[in-house]
Structure 1
Amino acid sequence: MPTLLIIHHTPSPFMQEMFEAVVAGATDPEIEGVQVVRRAALAVSATDVLEADGYLLGTPANLGYMSGALKHAFDTFYYPCLDSTTGRPYGLYIHGNQGTEGAERSVASVTTGLGWEQAAASVIVSGPPAKTDIERCWELGATVAAQLMA
């Protein structure tokens, strides 16, 4: 059974709302045969990443960069997974009040190095997530999970 790994850093109510929408989309009953695994960025391991077939990444934008927690996750698994996860799909959601472009760019740099393929447009939210932002998060989760269906 294909596995979708959600790697997230969720330190705020806004990030929690986005995370829950991503999970709801990824676990929609119409998506069959995909196991969804959730790992906090500070708890994810190289084994988690190697065992997954696709990824959803969630981070706040901190001072124009991805969160330190997501950066730590990448530092933990980058080299052990470098040649073994090439071509796998991923999606990204970001919340921030400023500097979201830098956060998106920093994640893109690492995922490009890993050879991952962006499977859907990133969801980037500034300020409180609107209903349409939450819907886009749901769609992100559903889109990446659906691509893994056998």
Structure 2
Amino acid sequence: MKKHLLIIYHTQSGNTGQMAEAVMRGSTQEADVETRLLSAFDADLKDLRWADGLLFGTPENFGTMSGALKDFFDRTYYPAEPFQLNLPYALFISAGNDGSGAVREIDRIAIGYPLRKINEPLIAKGDINQQHLEQCEEFGLAMAAGLSLGIF
């Protein structure tokens, strides 16, 4: 039976969008995993309930996550409570600084769903380059493979 990987992201400059597309390319290399890529504004509770694993992508805005990703959490947090999702998740961040504020805030929110962090965040500093995109593909593939093998 196929596992379901949900990638939720927001992009404004396009950097996180490039990362999200590369994460998606990597995850689709795993045949036993179905992947969906959704804007944070388009994702909702039914998408969370569909998922077996989550990847969140955000730019670092003012030292924290984007408002769009925060909006996703605001819209789904309380409705998700009764389901005790306990899903594995990881983060990818396009950062102008170090990304640590975004990581800290998302990790704090994730505890309440609850979600389980399964990997260190992938933080791309500055303009997105080929090395960042290759890392993103590996990141997506690693999550999909872990789901497929039942590791997460």
TM-score, scaled relative to structure 2: 0.89
Quote the residue 2:77 is aligned against. 78
Query: How far has the Cα of 1:99 moved from its partner?
Result: 5.7
Deviations 1:48-107 (A, max 9, x none): 111111101000011011000000001111112224244311111011212621111011
| Cα distance between partner residues in 1 of 2:84 and 2:132 | 29
How many residues are aligned here? 148
Pair 85,37 (structure 1): closer, same or farther in 2 beyond 3 Å: farther
Greater alpha carbon shift after TM alignment, 17-26 vs 129-138: 129-138
Deviations 1:14-67 (A, max 9, x none): 222211110111111xx1221101111011111111111110100001101100
Whether the aligned pair in 1 keeps the contact of 2:10 and 2:17 (CA below 8 Å) is no
Structure 1 counterpart SS, 2:32: coil
Whether the aligned pair in 2 keeps the contact of 1:7 and 1:39 (CA below 8 Å) is yes
| Cα distance between partner residues in 2 of 1:114 and 1:54 | 13
Query: How far has the Cα of 1:114 moved from its partner?
Result: 1.7
Instruction: Work out whether 1:16 is the aligned partner of 2:17.
Output: yes
Unaligned regions of 5+ residues in structure 1, if any?
none
Unaligned regions of 5+ residues in structure 2, if any?
none
Quote the residue 2:50 is aligned against. 51
Whether the aligned pair in 2 keeps the contact of 1:56 and 1:91 (CA below 8 Å) is yes
| Cα distance between partner residues in 2 of 1:128 and 1:93 | 14
Structure 1 counterpart SS, 2:83: coil
Instruction: Work out whether 1:127 is the aligned partner of 2:126.
Output: yes
Whether the aligned pair in 2 keeps the contact of 1:91 and 1:121 (CA below 8 Å) is yes
Whether the aligned pair in 1 keeps the contact of 2:27 and 2:141 (CA below 8 Å) is yes
Percent identical among aligned pairs is: 36
TM-score, scaled relative to structure 1: 0.90
Whether the aligned pair in 1 keeps the contact of 2:89 and 2:116 (CA below 8 Å) is yes
Letter matched to residue 20 of structure 1 = E
Structure 1 counterpart SS, 2:22: helix
Letter matched to residue 15 of structure 1 = T
| Cα distance between partner residues in 2 of 1:80 and 1:146 | 29
RMSD of aligned residue pairs (Cα, Å): 1.6
